[in-house]
Amino acid sequence: MTENASPNSALSSGQTSHAGASIVATNMTKVYGSGDAAFHALGPIDLDIKPGEFVSLIGPSGCGKSTTLLMASGLEPCTTGTIKVDGKALTKPLSEVGIVFQDHLLLDFRTAMNNVMLQQEIRGLDKAQTRARADMLFDRLGLSHAKDRYPRQLSGGMRQRVSIARALVHDPSMLLMDEPFGALDAITRTQIRHDLEMLWLETRKTVLFITHSIEEAVGLSDRVLVMSNNPGRIVEEIKIDLPRPRPAHLGEYPEFSAYAERIYKIFAKLGVYKF
Amino acid sequence: MKSPLSSARQIAEPIIWFAGLLLIWEFLVRWFEVPSFILPAPSAFLSQLVIDHERLARHGLITTKLILYGFVAGAIPGIILAYLIARFRLADQILYPIVVFIQGMPKITLAPLLLVWFGFADFPKILLTALITFFPVLVDSATGFRAIDKRQYYLSRSMGASWWQTFTKFELPSAAPYIFSGFRITAVVAVTVVIVVEWLNSQSGLGYLVLRAMDSSNTPLLFAILMVASMIGVVLSGLVTLVERLLLPWRSV
């Protein structure tokens, strides 16, 4: 972490500050059923994600991106394989983690702030300290006026921002995002993508990010893993070597287009597109 | 936002219509000289309500108490069983078919049987009310617990939530609107059930008073009892709505 004089640096400081964790998964597979009825859905998959790295998984629907993400965090058991987080074998669900799904999954009976503070209640964190962090995240995500609103009073983009705050308020070492912007309109998506990148630059959590969007994958990641179907496998790894923060309109930049082109070509080769 | 004026109108309008209806009723009964034991004029049963108010209140309270006991005794196991059915496949496979079968049974026909088994005290009345409450609450609560997004459990697990935390902070409040809709169905039915069982045996309660009124051909008193019973039903469902608003404020924003 570089020293940062802005007041926002408090996001990454404080007594429980966690930098990103590393995840090393070896030979992960998922098989449903057994015997003749066994269905080999996924893998073998190897992941080697460095601390603070932003890695995207991109691939056609049903290729097992979500399952990969859940298995890598121990939230879903794998049939075979081992996972090590910061060098230690993962035996139970990882709790130093924040999750954002495509649907906000906020509790509609709690206000935006209370949804975020649920992390504090359940984890038994210090209330004042967590609240201060939550306030800061709300501020950074442009949610300051929405603290006391219920989810149904918020727009889709705002709800997703609240779930990002919920995923970060306890200062986890890893952020799991499963198509977090999939249900948002293009304009909101571009803005929230940028806001996420800025937050990430500051906190350097390890991010595992699932998307269908090539623009999102290239726009955010250090590394893009392209997956194929039946069974789900990682077929290609692309390092994205572009300066940060990345611009809103990526299409203007030839380097960006070259990366996007590469992913398109892989999809075409896999038969993802049938034109 | 509703203005106070418009909500005052909302309350006043039905009252005016109701009063008008009673006036027409009164007029028709007098015009055609309908005998009171067939159809009493509103003036007759409303004055009966005043004359007999002490008796009506006493028996009305007894009936209300039985309804409330039965309600609580049915609702709590209903919610618990709904949770088990929604969360555990085994409970679902074993219990749900039984539940569906019993739910189709007209439970009021169990009343005589329950009286044979449990005698003539309050217990069979409470038990039957509990049974009638149990099923709608169970079915609606189970729907509520099942409606919880599976990914919600990934979130709670990632937070390291205990079973109790998951139940109290995620599951119960998520299912609460469904549970309350079960309560609302029950609140009115429960009044009927207790009165019907009181017909079969009782020395007290509104059902007992109904029998007394019939014995003496006191039709105005029957109508007065009907008014009291409706009032109990209205107040109970109003209470359910009120508690729901207080406990679930986000529903009305």
CATH number at residue B208: 1.10.3720.10
Task: Report yes or no on A89 lying in a domain.
Answer: yes
Whether B173 and A107 lie within 8 Å, measured CB to CB: yes
Confidence of residue A3 (pLDDT cuts 50, 70, 90): very low
Confidence of residue B67 (pLDDT cuts 50, 70, 90): very high
**Residue A222 reports pLDDT greater than 50:** yes
* Statement to judge: residues B188 and B77 lie in one domain: yes
pLDDT, position B74: 92
Whether B152 and A105 lie within 8 Å, measured CB to CB: yes
Confidence of residue B178 (pLDDT cuts 50, 70, 90): very high
Facing residue for A93 by CB, picked from B158, B174, B176: B158
Angstrom distance (rounded) from CA B46 to CA B54: 14
pLDDT, position A166: 93
Which residue range(s) make up the domain with B3? 1-33
pLDDT, position B97: 86
Span A42-47, mean pLDDT? Answer: 84
* Statement to judge: residues A56 and A31 lie in one domain: yes
* Statement to judge: residues A216 and A274 lie in one domain: yes
- Total beta-carbon pairs less than 8 A apart between chain A and chain B: 57
Confidence of residue B5 (pLDDT cuts 50, 70, 90): low
Whether B173 and A123 lie within 8 Å, measured CB to CB: no
Span A36-48, mean pLDDT? Answer: 81
pLDDT, position A228: 85
* Statement to judge: residues A105 and A233 lie in one domain: no
pTM of this structure: 0.80
**Residue A208 reports pLDDT greater than 70:** yes
Q: How far is CA A260 from CA A29, A216, B253, in A?
A: 28, 10, 44
pLDDT above 70 covers what percent of chain A? Answer: 93
* Statement to judge: residues A136 and A212 lie in one domain: no
* Statement to judge: residues A210 and A80 lie in one domain: yes
Facing residue for B174 by CB, picked from A73, A94, A107: A107
**Residue A65 reports pLDDT greater than 80:** yes
Asked if residue B138 lies in contact with residue A88, where contact means CB atoms within 8 angstroms, the answer is no
Span B165-181, mean pLDDT? Answer: 91
Angstrom distance (rounded) from CA B183 to CA B68: 12
CATH number, domain of A28, equals 3.40.50.300
Q: Which of B154, B165, B247 to mutate to test the interface with A (most CBs of A within 10 A)?
A: B154
Task: Report yes or no on A189 lying in a domain.
Answer: no
Cis peptide before A231 (omega within 30 of 0): yes
Indicate the residue among A153, A171, A189 that finishes a domain. Answer: A171
Residue B169 near chain A (CB below 8 Å): yes
**Residue B3 reports pLDDT greater than 50:** yes
* Statement to judge: residues B19 and B93 lie in one domain: no
Task: Please tell me the distance in Å from A268's CA to the nearest CA on chain B.
Answer: 32
* Statement to judge: residues A88 and A111 lie in one domain: no
Confidence of residue A8 (pLDDT cuts 50, 70, 90): very low
Whether A97 and B160 lie within 8 Å, measured CB to CB: no
For chain A, how many structural domains are there in total? 2
Residue B170 near chain A (CB below 8 Å): yes
**Residue A14 reports pLDDT greater than 70:** no
A232 token code pair: 């789900």
Which residue range(s) make up the domain with A248? 1-94+201-275
Closest CA to A93 of B102, B19, B161: B161
* Statement to judge: residues B172 and B123 lie in one domain: yes
Task: Please tell me the distance in Å from A76's CA to the nearest CA on chain B.
Answer: 9
Contacts of A73 in chain B (CB under 8 A): 158
Confidence of residue A23 (pLDDT cuts 50, 70, 90): confident
Residue B165 near chain A (CB below 8 Å): yes
DSSP single-letter state for residue A252: G
* Statement to judge: residues B17 and B71 lie in one domain: no
Whether B174 and A98 lie within 8 Å, measured CB to CB: no
Task: Please tell me the distance in Å from A123's CA to the nearest CA on chain B.
Answer: 6
* Statement to judge: residues A23 and A83 lie in one domain: yes
Indicate the residue among A155, A171, A187 that finishes a domain. Answer: A171
Contacts of B253 in chain A (CB under 8 A): 150, 152-153
For chain B, how many structural domains are there in total? 2
A60 token code pair: 């056609």
* Statement to judge: residues A47 and A118 lie in one domain: no
Span B84-89, mean pLDDT? Answer: 90
* Statement to judge: residues A6 and A83 lie in one domain: yes
Nearest chain B residue to A109 by CA distance is B250
* Statement to judge: residues A221 and A89 lie in one domain: yes
B213 token code pair: 């009124």
- Summarised one tens digit per residue, pLDDT across range B102-147 is 888 888 888 888 888 887 678 888 998 998 889 889 999 999 999 9
Q: What is the mean pLDDT of chain A?
A: 84
* Statement to judge: residues A4 and A67 lie in one domain: yes
- Summarised one tens digit per residue, pLDDT across range B17-28 is 888 998 998 888
pLDDT, position A7: 43
Task: Report yes or no on A181 lying in a domain.
Answer: no
* Statement to judge: residues B25 and B44 lie in one domain: no
Angstrom distance (rounded) from CA B120 to CA B132: 19
* Statement to judge: residues B106 and B12 lie in one domain: no
pLDDT, position B82: 93
Residue B90 near chain A (CB below 8 Å): no
Task: Please tell me the distance in Å from B166's CA to the nearest CA on chain A.
Answer: 9
Asked if residue B195 lies in contact with residue B214, where contact means CB atoms within 8 angstroms, the answer is no
Task: Please tell me the distance in Å from A164's CA to the nearest CA on chain B.
Answer: 13
**Residue A274 reports pLDDT greater than 80:** no
* Statement to judge: residues A48 and A15 lie in one domain: yes
Task: Report yes or no on A190 lying in a domain.
Answer: no
Q: What is the mean pLDDT of chain B?
A: 87
